[in-house]
Amino acid sequence: MQRYFGNIQDGFAYLSEDDQFHVVKVMRGKVNDQIEVVSDEKLFLCDIISLKPLKIRVEKEISTNVELTNDVVLIVSLLKGEKMDLVIQKATELGVEEIVLLKAERSIAKINKVDEEVKLNRYRRIAKEAAEQSKRIRIPLIYQVIDFNQLDKINADVKMIAYEGMAGTSANFKNKINKIKKGERLAVMIGPEGGFSPKEVEIASENGYRKISLGRRILRAETACFYALSVIAYTLELN
């Protein structure tokens, strides 16, 4: 069943224009068809009661338990082109609560103020679609791009920087995740294609980020995101 993020008011569901178009034209919705609508992190089963204009009535609230037990923040250095889209999509499927885009010295991708808003809106659209597809009740927040001098803006209790210089060491992070307490926020930082500079590692550790290894091999930045988030999700909910 198709799921949308919208607003519920007085027993009716209201969707964005794009989503209304999707219901009527793409999904070819008919009267009495049912869809799911998420509003304020609550899930509702709804009925289409008319198409012109589109009217969607709430039938009932459905209980659901899909989100990770702890909030996870992915801090990912700007990556070139499609890689960033893929990271946003997979990070959403893997349950992150927030994605922070980080300007790093050795990022190939550069982002200027002009195209920042355009890119952020694109990433937010990818995150919304991935949240709908993976049946989440939350769309990850994607804030403005930050640089290393703004790490203090990130709210997290357990902070880790995946540092390639630790590859193959015992600085694994499973035990850090196993020790996480209820309500604690966990942040993991992933570097760009060129890796972290020593200065960046130093600034991160001054901001409380502990260096961790993601295993013996050097992973591509996007693979490192998927690997780290998979270990976190597995440890938090399947372990």
- Give the binding site for ligand SAM (CB under 6 A): 162-164, 166-167, 190-191, 193-196, 213-215, 217-221, 224
Q: Which whole-number Å values give the CA distances from 108 to 44, 76, 103, in the listed order?
A: 43, 13, 10
Q: Cβ of residue 87: shortest distance to ligand SAM, in angstroms?
A: 11
Q: Which is nearer to ligand SAM, 38 or 100 (CB)?
A: 100
Q: Which is nearer to ligand SAM, 64 or 223 (CB)?
A: 223
Q: Which is nearer to ligand SAM, 23 or 161 (CB)?
A: 161
Q: Cβ of residue 192: shortest distance to ligand SAM, in angstroms?
A: 6
Q: Cβ of residue 222: shortest distance to ligand SAM, in angstroms?
A: 9
Q: Cβ of residue 60: shortest distance to ligand SAM, in angstroms?
A: 45
Q: Which is nearer to ligand SAM, 43 or 189 (CB)?
A: 189
Q: Which residue is nearest to ligand SAM (CB)?
A: 191
Lookup: tokens for 230: 């998979």
